Amino acid sequence: MSAVPEHTTGHPDMNEPATNSPAAGGDHPGRHREYEGRHRADPEGLSVWATAQSTGPVQRRGRYVPESVKHPARMLPAIAAHAIAAYTEPGDLVLDPMCGIGTTLVEAVHAGRDAFGIEYEPQWSNIADANIRHAHDQGASGRASVIRGDATRLMSLVPKALTGQVALVVTSPPYGPTVHGLVRPGEHGVVKYDDRYNDGEDKGNLAYRDLTGLADGFAEILRGCATLLRPGGVVVVTARPWRKRGELVDLPSAVIAAGLRAGLAPTERCVALLAAVRDGQLVARPSFFQLQQVRKARSFGVPMHLIAHEDVLIFTKTRTPEDGSGVVA
């Protein structure tokens, strides 16, 4: 992938003037290069987020407590940080209704925002608390807290005073048994561990529902988020498809449908890279399991490719007659 579009000599762009014509500055060498330069976008304004210039472990090293690695589906800190920088100002309130180890909260307080999160599993909420304390020990100026509970009942968990106060929601739905976890060499090959959200597969956890149940529960969560959003507030959801028995499960589309049912309006669809950009090329950062799955598929003649990005789905609150907030539906 090239970071900047390149012109080829064999197939000229019919929308561009020929480089040897007077309009292109044929009598003035160098003008075409100058013209191209005017179309280079500021990376901060692109819909492609370069969020994996360093690996996940490098992004978390020293910034998160070591126990954080046990969570099976951690959001890249750079994804949360990019969303917070793009959609909020210092002092704003950020929410993650499925906060896990608290990545969104940690990045928010380091950026001078206040934040709170909801987490169903006590193991992860305890680690999120530890990560917040660690951030404050490192000088983070924002305030954050974690509420234990079921985010599908969001409004029963959150003080009513926060209604209409949230500037930004950043979250990701769970991936259930498709999460990757960690690996180590074993006597009989590679052993997978830390690959579950809990030990007992509590059916109250959305991760253990089928796609329909997951989407329904996520719609309830987003409905609560819509109530908490302030006018002009934004919801950012990261998601990617997974494969089940070789077939692609389209989670991003299910998330968009859930957002619509929750009264949110989809306004953008961005890409958060899970690969680094080096000299105009992508450097993949796959997990062991991604590589294994792709290699196995290709050995059977299926031209499967590595997933190198997360879909980033941006929503705003639909305007209601009562408050006039949000965007026109």
CA–CA gap between residue 144 and residue 115 (Å, rounded): 5
- What distance in Å separates the CA atoms of residue 167 and residue 30, rounded to the nearest whole number? 46
- C-alpha to C-alpha distance for 1 and 259, rounded to whole angstroms: 31
276-280: Cβ within 8 A, 24+ apart: 276/50, 276/52, 276/53, 276/54, 277/1, 277/3, 277/50, 277/53, 280/1, 280/2, 280/3, 280/4
The pLDDT, as a whole number, for residue 149 is 95
Q: How would you write 134-155 as a 3-class SS string?
A: HHHHCCCCCCEEEEECCHHHHH
CA distances from 315 to 64, 73, 190, 320 (A): 29, 22, 41, 15
| pLDDT per residue as tens digits for the range 258-280 | 999 999 999 999 999 999 999 98
Query: Which pLDDT value is given to residue 215?
Result: 92
Hey, is 171 helix, strand or coil? strand
| pTM attached to this predicted model | 0.78
Tokens of 7: 């012109």
Structure tokens at 254: 């299910």
The pLDDT value given to residue 19: 41
The predicted structure's pLDDT at residue 207: 65
| Angstrom distance (rounded) from CA 64 to CA 228 | 28
How remote is the C-alpha of 155 from its chain's centroid? 24
Name residues of the chain where pLDDT drops below 70: 1-41, 43, 175-205, 207-208, 246, 319-329
Rounded to whole angstroms, the Cα distance separating 98 from 56 reads: 19
